[in-house]
Structure formats: C-alpha cells, structure tokens
Structure 1
Amino acid sequence: MRSVTFDASSRRWLLRTPGTSYVVALADDDAPRCLHWGPALTAEQAASLPGPAAFGASSFDSTAGEEELVSEVGARFETPSLQVVLPGGDRGIEWRHDGHEIDGGHLTLRFSDRRHPLLVELHYRVHDDSDAIERWTVLRPQVPVTVLRCDSAAWSVPALDGYRLSHVTGGWSSEHALSRTELPVGETALTSRRGLSSHHANPWLMIDGGDAGERHGEVWSCALAWSGSWRVTLTRTTSGRASWTGGFGHEGLTWRLEPGEEWVTPVFAGVYAPDGYGEASRRWHDHVARHVLPRPDEPRPVVYNAWEAVGFDVNEANQRDLARLAARVGAELFVMDDAWFGGRTGDSAGLGDWWVNDERFPDGLSPLIDEVHRLGMRFGLWVEPEMVNPDSDLYRANPDWVLHMPGRSRTLLRNQLVLNFARPDVADWAHKWLHKLVSEHAVDFLKWDFNRAFTEAGRPGDPDQDRLWIDHVRAVYSIMDRLRADHPHLRIEACAGGGGRTDLGILARTDQVWTSDNTDAHDRIAIQRGFSQVYPARAMAAWVTDSPNPLTGRAVPLRFRFHVAMAGALGLGGDLARWSEAELSEAAELVAVYKDIRPVVQFGRLWRLPYGVQYVHGDRVVVLAWHGPVAFGTPIAPLRLAGLDPDGRYRDEDTGTVHHGAVLMSRGLPPLTPGGGYTSTLLRLRAC
C-alpha cells in the first residue's frame, strides 16, 4: 500500500499512516482544503468524500473553511496562516496550483500567486511506523515580500457536538499543568513571546468533542517542533466548526524576504487517535522515539547532579567526595553544575568566561574527570552558552554581542543578558569554545541551560532585525548538530530554568530535557502527567533530591521520591554527604531496581492510571502508584490496569503471585492504604 496517492479526476491526495488517513483536495479556486482527518480510508472511500464546499450563509460570513493554509484573499475571516505584503500593497495569496510531487511518504503541493511571482509549497510527510502527519510550509519569493505571519500549517477537525481544548500552562517550577476546557466560540490564542517554548505554555494541543477520556473517544492533536517564540490560534465559529493555525514567531514581528530566498517553517505535526488521550499520547511517544530523538534506543543513564548539594561552592575536593557517593548508590553519569568556570562564585558574575577556574581546580578538570571515569561513571558539565553577565570579561570586550536596542535600557534578569546567536560571529564563538571544551576535557555530557527570556530583542543596524527571533534558535540547533556530529559520544540535556525549552525541535537534538527545577515528588506527579501527554518517559529527566525539599519545604519519604522519579529517566540531585547510611543503602537498592525496570519504563508503552502510571514492554509490566495525604476515611479505588492480554496470566516478580489479565483490568489491584502520609508502591509483573 502506497502511503501517498493522487486521484487526478477529483484533484485530491490521500495520505495514509498505519492507523489513520488524511485527505487533501483542491477547491474550485485551487485553495487546498482538508476533506478528512481521522480513521483509515481506502482509496475508493476517499474518492467518495464530498468535495470542498463554501460555508458562507450571508455576505458577512466566510465562504471558505477547512483550508490547509488560510490566506487573506477573498471572504476569509478566520485567523490567516499566511500574511504577506507584496509589491504595490497586495496582501495574502490568490492560489494557483502548479503541480505536486510524491516521494515515498513525502508529498509536496506547489502553488503560486495569480498576480505576483511568489511560490508557496505545502509539505506533508508520513511514515509507515508512525501515525503522525508532519507538515511545513516553504516560501520562495521572486520579488521583495514582507512577511507578517507564515505558519507551518492549518488544521481542521470534523463538525462535533462540542469542542474541548487540552493544553498545558504553568510557570517556573510549575510547568506542564494540564488544562482541559471547552473551546469558546471565537479565537483562542496559545503563544510564547519569550524567545523559547516557555514554562507558561507548550506548543501542543489536543481537541476532542468533550466526551473523550484516557481510554475512549476521538482526539485530534498537534505539536510544533520549535524552541523559540510560537503561536497557535484556534477558531470556533458560530456555525459549529473548529480549526487552528500555528507556527513560529509571535504577533508584531515582521520579516523581509528578498528575491531568491527560501523561507522554511518548522514542522507542525498532527496525530489522530480513536481511543482517547492515552492512545494519542502513545502515538506521540512512538513518533518521538522513531522520528525525533537522535538516540532513541539508548538507555538513559542514572544521573547524579551536584547542584543541590553545593550550589556555587564548587571545588575539586567536594566534587570528588560527591562522585564517590554517587558511584556508591549506582549513578552512571556524574554532572558538575554551575561555577566551575571563570570568576563565577554566584549568579552575578563570570557567565560567558568559559575557562576553568584555576583556584577551584588548580590542576584543571582532568583529575576530577579521571576520578569520575575510574569510578565507572561518565562525566558531564553544566553550560549556559546563550547568556552573559555584564560583570564578565566577555561582555566588557563585546558589549554589542547581546540583544539590545540603542535607545532602551538593557534589562537584567537573573543578572544576565542574552547573547545574540543570530550574529554569525557570536554563534561561531560559542561553537568554538564548546567544541574545545568537549575535545580537551573528555566531556561525555552537557546540560545546556537557558535562564532568562528575550528582552530588548534588537540588533542595531540590521534592517530586518526581527529575524533574530528565528535565526537565534536556528543557530542553537546548528551548534548542537555540529557538536553531535563532531563528538558522536556526546549526549546533551536541554534545560531552560527547568522545563522552559521542551518541544519536538529541541528533542531532535538532545537526549532528554530537564522537566522542572521543582524536584518535590508531590508536585512532580502533576508536572510529569502533563509532560507525558506528548513527550515520552525516556526524555523526562526526574531527580530524587533531599527531604525537606529545598524549594517547597515538603518532607516526603525516600521511597516515595524514588517511585515518582522512576517514572522517567531517573536521576539524583540531593546532598548525598548529608544522607544517612540507611538512606544511602536504600537509595542503592532502589537504583538497582530502577536499572531492572528501566527498559520497561523508557521503552515501554504508557498507560496513565488514576493515581499512577503503567508501562508495558514485551512480556513485562511495571506499575508505579502513589498517594499523598488524604482525610481519614477517604475511599481509594482499586487500581485497574490497562493494555494487558485479558486471557493472559501475569506473575508478580517479587512475590510470585499470579494474576489474570482480565481481573487486573476489571477488578484491579487492592488500593493503596494512605495512612495519613505519602504512600507509594512499585509492582513488577511478567507474563507467564
């Protein structure tokens, strides 16, 4: 079966994934329209779909709908996907279809404007092992063009009785808070204007008819592969239709394209699932593993990060001591965090001076790295390449390297400014010192941080300075790509004050993301639940830290902290020197258990449970369940599992008890006994 086919008689294209179909057709005016996005169709069924129709009921209504990229020409009153100003002041595009190309699962639809030499390509890509449909747009002007908005794609869903929007909100240390609300009539904008995907929103959404749950109901979803500012605008019309358009940039930015330039947008992928939010998530996880992550089949190591133990008081002696303790509890990667470089003794100075502090490391980093390797761990470093403190040699020598405007003050956030990576000389400087650092110091891992949003985002003297919002992110991508190509052993974790840069664009270049600076296990349950809607467990860095938690002050048992963190890529970040012998021994036991279940958690399929998660991989099942304090007498329901063979039997690997799959899914496991505190459990099952 071909994944993309064309029916010339009806001017429509059928794209097929393993479980879904997508049908695009040309209207009479050549505008591309979506006829179907949902369950799989045969070619014959796709040919029988009603053709594109105008929706206008009066001279005040839009006459178009379900367009693949919404223009401004004609009676189109939805949010435009493509806003361009052409010579003479003409806006938008009057579609003229110029042909198409099918290359395996890649479909290119070519268009031009009927009056101006502006070429537009709509790209679609499907895979034989993923239900995601990847879409992006390419502009090729032959005349000067001003671009106000150029989205990657517009998406439409069938007419439903109602529309519910799922997305995440939050802030620093409260990322990925899941929100499910009715989509109001009118326009709803989801966006980041901060220069990164942000803590406050994330570039994905899900739409259902208001009747979906974890295991039932149709769900349509999209995710943008972009790590800078972005926007998605949803429209629900009074006539009962819903659609959205999205891409990079935000309101108020413009770009100037010259003749012969090529403007390529990031991928905006879509996934349809017939069986609820859980199935939508599993389809996203499969796609991310197979077509986004650079090393999807590599187990993520157990990390120990020294930040919460010593903060800025870094030196060779305390790092050696912590490395020995980290190795004792089973860590596989030791990461030294901030303050190993320049004159860095706090967050007010030294950022940008990327040479080893010879007072803290008199013989350089090699003795520490050698010791870490001798202990059987890999070695990693924290870096923040895109930032600079004004109190640094770098800034004093190059004050014009930062984002700034000549008539505005330079706002300090966390005592730092943003370096302008849209400048080739700045990006080249960053690549050179990173390449040297990795080459000369046997660095295996970089934690790449980004600790403030863009402000005063200008570049004096540049006639098209708004491009820096795009070009900066592209430069970050390029540097990461070059580092990985030059150092195949290098692994990278994306971080932006926690989870502020979490998206499919950064995941294509990194191995995992730092989910949140909030390591409180109780808070992490909700953070991780929101993260898991689109992103897989193997990409979710999750630490066990001290109790009481240094951020929230909440005291939580060690086992509870581990059980929550075991749901992702396990790490440790507490001050191990203050842990008791009993805590260190228990931690070592739990790390060993995690290494046993790691293939199931990191490579298995996820089912979210009412108060826990379940992973299935091959013949193994792992259940992690937890409860915080509840009032005495509060009933807790049994934990009903999912995704098992109802005719199968499953042996508890720890007790030997045999369970029937049908019983585990219908009656469930006995409920946790809260006992007034924090209770958790880990269950390992194997099909027998």
Structure 2
Amino acid sequence: MTGISFLEGHRTWVLTGESSTYALRLGEDDVPAHVYWGPALPAAGVVELTAKTLPWWDGFNDPNEGLDELATDGGTRYWTPALQVRFADGTRALEWRYEDHEITAGHLRVHFTDRHYPLRITLHYRLRGDVLERWTELTADTDVEVVRADSATWALPVSEDYRLSHVTGRWAAETQLHRESVPHGETTFASRRGITSHHANPWVMVDDGTATERHGEVYGVALAWSGSWRLTTTRSSTGRLTVSGGFGQDGVVHRVGPRRPLTTPVSAGLYTDGGFGAASRAWHAYVRAHVLPHPEELRPVLYNSWEATGFDVTEAGQRALAERAAALGVELFVMDDGWFGARTGDHAGLGDWHVNRERFPEGLKPLVGAVHALGMKFGIWVEPEMVNPDSDLYRAHPDWVQHHPHRRRSELRRQLVLNFARPDVQEWAYDWLDRLVGEHGVDFLKWDMNRPFSEAGWPGEADQDRLWVEHTHAVYALLDRLRGDHPDLRIESCSGGGGRIDLGVLARSDQVWTSDNTDALDRLRIQHGYGQLYPAGAMSAWVTDNPNFVTARSVPLRFRFHVAMAGVLGLGGDIVHWPDEDLALARDLIARYRDIRPVVQHGTLYRLRPPIDDGVVAFQYVLGDRSVVFAYRQAAHFNAPERPLRLDGLDPAARYAEPEPGRTHSGAVLLAHGLPLGLPPGDFASVVVRLDRIKI
C-alpha cells in the first residue's frame, strides 16, 4: 500500500511508492538518519534495519558516517556536508533538535531546530509514484549565513561497486552520455554559469556496474533548478556512497533571517530494478504527470525562420515563409531574431523590444493576422534576460546589468546579462512581454538566453550573493505570471541550444530546444543522452538545410526528417527555395508525423540499439495498441547482412499490422526474433515503422 507512515515506537518514517520504499529515522541525538532506499519493504522489514547507532571502532572512522539524512558539518562528522551554517558569533556546527512532523496528502514535513540558536529546519518529502521529491526549508529569527544548502543527501545501499551515468557536453554537443566507475572521494558535477549549462546536466544515475537497458537496479537523482548547481558523489573506503545536490556554488553565501526564509529546489530520487530503460520510462512518466504544465497536449509541428533569414527579417519574407510552411502542414509559425529595435545583427538592439517599423511598417499585427488566416499559430523569439551595450535600454539603465564597480563588463556575443533579481527589471520585462503577447495575439514564445553570467554583482545591495538564486526565481516568477495572465500561451526554453534543460524550467515550459546543432547524425547522440531523463514530448527537433551550418555535413532529407520525427518535429530551413521533390517529401513526412505524433510524444520509450558506434540505431515508442519503430543506419560497412530488430513493450499473444507494406506480425515473434527492417542500402538509411495491434 502506497503512502507515508510513522512508526512511533521506532521514531521512523516509511514512505512507500508503487514499487519501492524509502525510510528514515531519528537517532538517539535527534539527528535524522537514513534507514533504507530500494525495493518495496513492509514496515516490519524496515524495523529490522533501525538498529541503534553503531559504536566507534577507532579514532578516525565513524561507522555511521554517510548515513545522515541531510549531512551537516560539525562535531566528528567529516562527510560531504549538504548543510553548512555560520551563526552570528562565528559558530559553524549544527546540532539537531526534533520538534514535530506532519503528514498530509503524500507530503511529509519533519521540523527541527538547532539546540541553541534560533534556526529552524524543515525536511520535506513528497511521493510521486516511485519518485520521491525532497527539499529543505530554513527560517531564523536572527541572521544566519548558510554556506551550503543542498536539497538532500541520498544514501545508496552498500555495493561491491558503483557505476555512474551522467551527461556532459558543450555548445552544439550537449547531453553526451557517459557511464564510468564512481571514483573514491568526492566527485562534483556542477554549473557555475548561472544557468543549467551545456556542459553538464543536474542528474546522475547509479548502478552496481551490471545493469543493462532491461535489467538491474538503478538509482537516479535529479535536481529541479535552472541556475548554478552542483551534485556531489562521495564514495568512502568503507564502501558507502551518497549523492548530495542543490543550488549554489562555492563562495556564494545564502543569508537567512527575519522575513528571509530559504527554500531549496526539489531534488527528486528514483529507484527501479528494471535497468536503465525502466529508469528512463519512470522519469518520463514523472515529468509528464507532475512537471510539465500541459502534458495532455500534443505539441504542434513548427517552422522557425532563423536559418532561412538570420537577421534579415522583413514582413514580406516572413509571409512567404509562412505561406510555404502552411502548405506543408505546419501548425505553428515562429519568427526568430531581428524583428525589433535596431537589430540587424548581434551587435545592437537587444533590450529594445519595440517593433522595427522599417521592417514592419504597420507593426506585427498584419503578419500575425496572416499567419492565423493560414491556419497556423504565431510564435516569436525573445531574449528577455539580455541586453546589447549598443541599445537604448543600456544607455538609459547601465546599472540594470550584473556588474561590479571598478571591473570591466565582459561581453559574450556582444551582450550583457540583466539583473533579474532587481524588482524594476522584473517589472520592465513583464510589461513589454505582456504587451507583446496580449496586443498581438502571440501564441508561442521561444525564450532564449545566449550567454552565462559574469561579474555577477549588484552594487549598492547589501547581500549581493542573493543575485545568483533570485535571478532564477525571478525568471520562474515571470514565466508563471505570463502563463497565468495568458493561459493559451505556450513557451519553449532555449539557451543557445540546450543550455537550460532541467526539471525546474520544464515546470514552466512546454518544450525545450535541445541543441543548436541540427545535424541529424549528431542529433542521434544528443537525443539519446537527453532521453535518459527527459521525455520526447518536450524535445524540440528541427529539419534544416544541407550542408548543416554547424558540421557542414550533408544528410538525405528523409534521414533528417526521421531523426527529428522522434521528438517534437520542427522545420528550420529555407523552404521557399526547396525543390519540388523535397517539398513533396516534406509534405508526406509531416502528414506521417502528425499520424504517429500521439505515440511519439505520449508513448513509452524502449531503446533497442543505442548509438554506441556508427552502425544501426533503433528505438520504439508504445502507446496503447499502437507502436512506432525508428531505425537508422549511420554507415554501412563490409556489406554486413541486416539483422532483425527485436522489439519491446508488445503483447506476445497479439498480432500487429504494419500498414505499409500491408503485412502482419506475431507479437511473440517481434519480441523473440525481431522485425525485418528493410533499410535502404548505403549510409544514412532510415525507416519509421508503424505497428497497430489487431483487434479481434
């Protein structure tokens, strides 16, 4: 039975998910201690694990170290601290005193105070199926410096070995999956950039080194935060491993005091015994059910004008693109950069969010009306958090950017970062965004952020460090306010590609721009890493022109489409100049995508052959009686014979129809033997196979 219970005689809380159990207890000194995380256990089984604190067996190794529910420094605790505080008199150690707890609607709150100082700590736990959300809340009657405030410490069962799965990358090469043994000591994955970053993503998965796609125990931890963050794994010589994570970075201090509480972002944890595939499917289900704002919707096929026009934006040019897009079956037309201010390049105009009347003599309404008349929704690109020094906004408000006195203001992409922690900047941003959306009937915002923080100062503010957290909170609040005032508005998160993808921004976005790299071959690996945690229904993927502007590689149009059709399909090429045969193929494939879209965007994912080499890559989505198989041969070597592809997620007792070429298959055969793919010969060959369960 799922839920939360308190075993009063053992001072233990048991949180039971759909197929897993988590438990914590109060130690003899009121320190909250981890008890268990893993396969479902009855309460009696948990009681067996609630042994008393173990005695020291030498003067250097605490046998209980690493088992604190929220690791703190102080006393003889030397584990990686999740919570570090410094009181006004210089005291740093925290001593717990349990006060009480509440259990309401799947939400556990455990309240503590410090034994001497007026600091209150509440540990939060919320069950979401088999995902457990944890976060921490701090309040104080006098000022307290919080040097580190992680959301949670996750203690894993002792294992013979530990293997870590995570993603790394850079611009145009995001979410590259790595699996490697966990080093002893502390290993930190982080962003100090003020954004999630292209270089790492705030999640890890841990197994014992034997898990596969289908089998084995996997533990996952993910952080719902879009600013600077860190996740630290700590592996001791005794074999214990923890994962601690939260917002912030070294050198940035949070201050808690009267009317200044601190609430950390959610750290979500998941256990599964079904391997990496089951872990991903559980994360996807969690994001759809509890994170995304409109998970029941189908994301439209979009067209974006950037690669066709760059900054050379005119009303006539946008109308021509919109007419061609509508004829192909596109449902959402998005005009990108270059429509405002003196924005004829990346050197000027950013921050001056008024329509360029030389390019749009009557404003945006005629274009928006024309797009709506073509049966499409209208979207527009914005970058609210940035400003060019060559802009009217910067000349009027140079103090609005993040900066330090007596220090240069470093430019990246010829722009600076506005300080969204300032209330006047927040109101300015809301005012023009509200008018842009409301006065023009805008249906969709592509919200971009094309550089990280630098010189993140706030002259005149007594607590400048709060900028690092409050900038992100202000962006969240602005997105929430816009969505509340314009309930039909949909938003895509972008940060120079995939620099802002995380559970925090997904709670306020309908989709994310995965990478500026639209090269179909590279996208197979980018999308593979993305899909470890995040669902295809939020993954924006475009078909663009040859050669690709990032890699200079040329790939057949069908292959480009088939790769992009594995997520939220978009087009970004200069379609006005596409030859007739490409337009005809695009029209057919968009229609095909719209048919299979519910399965792709809402179905469960099965990875059948990952992109570990340059051979065949394949995966499958299943939704109810329908299944869609995607298969890609990247490169053909030595005339190797094609192998049938074993599928997953089907009913072995059923038969499945393949409408094209009109044949049927036994579910048992597809699972045990496989599906003949019939890939065309040569490199860059691909197929998309639709299978429908035959109703008898």
Same fold (TM over 0.5): yes
Q: Tell me if the contact between 2:679 and 2:687 (Cα under 8 Å) persists in the aligned partners.
A: no
* Aligned residues: CA RMSD: 1.2
Query: How far apart are residue 55 of structure 1 and its match?
Result: 7.9
SS across alignment from 1:88: coil
SS across alignment from 2:6: strand
Q: State how far apart, in whole Å, the 1-side matches of 2:293 and 2:79 are.
A: 37
Q: Per-residue CA shift, 1:386-432, capped at 9, x if unaligned?
A: 00000000000000000000021000000000000000110110011
Q: Tell me if the contact between 2:226 and 2:504 (Cα under 8 Å) persists in the aligned partners.
A: yes
Q: Per-residue CA shift, 1:476-523, capped at 9, x if unaligned?
A: 000000000000110000000001000000000010000000000000
State the partner residue of 1:232: 231
Q: State how far apart, in whole Å, the 2-side matches of 1:489 and 1:508 are.
A: 16
Q: State how far apart, in whole Å, the 1-side matches of 2:131 and 2:184 are.
A: 28
After the TM superposition, which residues 475-624 of structure 1 pair with which residues of structure 2 at under 5 Å, given as runs? 475-610=474-609, 611-624=617-630
2:40 is the alignment partner of 1:40 = yes
Q: State how far apart, in whole Å, the 1-side matches of 2:165 and 2:293 are.
A: 28
Q: Tell me if the contact between 1:629 and 1:678 (Cα under 8 Å) persists in the aligned partners.
A: yes
Q: Tell me if the contact between 2:10 and 2:50 (Cα under 8 Å) persists in the aligned partners.
A: no
Q: Tell me if the contact between 2:28 and 2:53 (Cα under 8 Å) persists in the aligned partners.
A: no
2:659 is the alignment partner of 1:653 = yes
Q: State how far apart, in whole Å, the 1-side matches of 2:260 and 2:46 are.
A: 37
Q: Tell me if the contact between 2:150 and 2:244 (Cα under 8 Å) persists in the aligned partners.
A: yes
User: Which amino acid is the alignment partner of residue 352 of structure 2?
Assistant: D
Say if 1:87 and 1:415 are closer, same or farther in 2 by CA, change over 3 A.
Answer: same
State the partner residue of 1:17: 17
State the partner residue of 2:301: 302
State the partner residue of 1:371: 370
State the partner residue of 1:628: 634
Q: Tell me if the contact between 2:559 and 2:686 (Cα under 8 Å) persists in the aligned partners.
A: yes
User: Which amino acid is the alignment partner of residue 68 of structure 2?
Assistant: E
After the TM superposition, which residues 404-443 of structure 1 pair with which residues of structure 2 at under 5 Å, given as runs? 404-443=403-442
User: Which amino acid is the alignment partner of residue 316 of structure 1?
Assistant: E
Query: How far apart are residue 457 of structure 1 and its match?
Result: 0.4
State the partner residue of 1:111: 112
Q: TM-score, normalised by structure 2?
A: 0.97
Query: How far apart are residue 613 of structure 1 and its match?
Result: 1.6
State the partner residue of 2:612: none
Q: Tell me if the contact between 2:353 and 2:432 (Cα under 8 Å) persists in the aligned partners.
A: yes
Gaps of 5+ in 2: 610-616
Query: How far apart are residue 255 of structure 1 and its match?
Result: 2.1
Query: How far apart are residue 57 of structure 1 and its match?
Result: 4.2
State the partner residue of 2:94: 93
State the partner residue of 1:360: 359
Q: Tell me if the contact between 1:622 and 1:685 (Cα under 8 Å) persists in the aligned partners.
A: yes
After the TM superposition, which residues 208-227 of structure 1 pair with which residues of structure 2 at under 5 Å, given as runs? 208-227=207-226
Query: How far apart are residue 185 of structure 1 and its match?
Result: 0.6
User: Which amino acid is the alignment partner of residue 535 of structure 2?
Assistant: P
State the partner residue of 1:49: 49
Q: Per-residue CA shift, 1:269-325, capped at 9, x if unaligned?
A: 011111101100110011100110000000000000000000000000110000011
SS across alignment from 2:10: coil
Q: Tell me if the contact between 2:172 and 2:550 (Cα under 8 Å) persists in the aligned partners.
A: no
Say if 1:55 and 1:282 are closer, same or farther in 2 by CA, change over 3 A.
Answer: farther
Query: How far apart are residue 32 of structure 1 and its match?
Result: 1.2
SS across alignment from 1:607: strand
After the TM superposition, which residues 180-199 of structure 1 pair with which residues of structure 2 at under 5 Å, given as runs? 180-199=179-198
Q: State how far apart, in whole Å, the 1-side matches of 2:626 and 2:347 are.
A: 50
Query: How far apart are residue 657 of structure 1 and its match?
Result: 1.5
State the partner residue of 1:83: 84
Query: How far apart are residue 49 of structure 1 and its match?
Result: 2.4
State the partner residue of 1:458: 457
User: Which amino acid is the alignment partner of residue 198 of structure 2?
Assistant: H
Query: How far apart are residue 53 of structure 1 and its match?
Result: 3.8
SS across alignment from 2:670: helix
Say if 1:216 and 1:203 are closer, same or farther in 2 by CA, change over 3 A.
Answer: same
Q: State how far apart, in whole Å, the 1-side matches of 2:179 and 2:133 are.
A: 25
Q: State how far apart, in whole Å, the 2-side matches of 1:182 and 1:518 are.
A: 30
Query: How far apart are residue 170 of structure 1 and its match?
Result: 0.2
Q: TM-score, normalised by structure 1?
A: 0.98
Q: Per-residue CA shift, 1:62-99, capped at 9, x if unaligned?
A: 34222211011222111100011012211131111111
Query: How far apart are residue 612 of structure 1 and its match?
Result: 1.6
User: Which amino acid is the alignment partner of residue 24 of structure 1?
Assistant: L
Q: Structure 1 vs Structure 2: percent identity of aligned residues? A: 57
Deviates more, 1:50-59 or 1:602-611: 50-59
Q: Tell me if the contact between 1:630 and 1:674 (Cα under 8 Å) persists in the aligned partners.
A: no
Gaps of 5+ in 1: none
Q: State how far apart, in whole Å, the 2-side matches of 1:358 and 1:349 are.
A: 16
2:476 is the alignment partner of 1:470 = no
User: Which amino acid is the alignment partner of residue 638 of structure 2?
Assistant: F
After the TM superposition, which residues 281-300 of structure 1 pair with which residues of structure 2 at under 5 Å, given as runs? 281-300=280-299
Q: State how far apart, in whole Å, the 2-side matches of 1:215 and 1:170 are.
A: 26
Say how many residue pairs are matched. Answer: 686
SS across alignment from 1:223: strand
Q: Tell me if the contact between 2:139 and 2:257 (Cα under 8 Å) persists in the aligned partners.
A: no
Query: How far apart are residue 674 of structure 1 and its match?
Result: 6.6
Q: State how far apart, in whole Å, the 2-side matches of 1:290 and 1:440 are.
A: 33
Q: State how far apart, in whole Å, the 2-side matches of 1:351 and 1:673 are.
A: 47
User: Which amino acid is the alignment partner of residue 657 of structure 1?
Assistant: R
User: Which amino acid is the alignment partner of residue 666 of structure 1?
Assistant: A
SS across alignment from 2:219: strand
Q: Per-residue CA shift, 1:120-174, capped at 9, x if unaligned?
A: 00000013xx211000000011221011100100101101111000010000010
Query: How far apart are residue 12 of structure 1 and its match?
Result: 0.5
User: Which amino acid is the alignment partner of residue 18 of structure 1?
Assistant: E
Q: Per-residue CA shift, 1:664-684, capped at 9, x if unaligned?
A: 122112355573310100110
SS across alignment from 2:89: helix
SS across alignment from 1:226: coil
State the partner residue of 2:126: 125
Q: State how far apart, in whole Å, the 1-side matches of 2:485 and 2:353 are.
A: 20
Q: Tell me if the contact between 1:512 and 1:541 (Cα under 8 Å) persists in the aligned partners.
A: yes
Query: How far apart are residue 56 of structure 1 and its match?
Result: 5.2
Q: State how far apart, in whole Å, the 2-side matches of 1:196 and 1:52 are.
A: 43
Say if 1:435 and 1:56 are closer, same or farther in 2 by CA, change over 3 A.
Answer: farther
Q: Per-residue CA shift, 1:539-577, capped at 9, x if unaligned?
A: 000001112212211111111111111110111111101
Say if 1:367 and 1:135 are closer, same or farther in 2 by CA, change over 3 A.
Answer: same
Q: Tell me if the contact between 2:113 and 2:119 (Cα under 8 Å) persists in the aligned partners.
A: yes
Deviates more, 1:345-354 or 1:254-263: 254-263
Query: How far apart are residue 51 of structure 1 and its match?
Result: 2.6
Q: State how far apart, in whole Å, the 1-side matches of 2:513 and 2:94 are.
A: 42
Q: Tell me if the contact between 2:2 and 2:18 (Cα under 8 Å) persists in the aligned partners.
A: no
Q: Tell me if the contact between 1:541 and 1:568 (Cα under 8 Å) persists in the aligned partners.
A: yes
Q: Tell me if the contact between 2:85 and 2:147 (Cα under 8 Å) persists in the aligned partners.
A: yes
Deviates more, 1:62-71 or 1:611-620: 62-71
Q: Tell me if the contact between 1:672 and 1:680 (Cα under 8 Å) persists in the aligned partners.
A: no
Q: State how far apart, in whole Å, the 2-side matches of 1:64 and 1:270 are.
A: 21
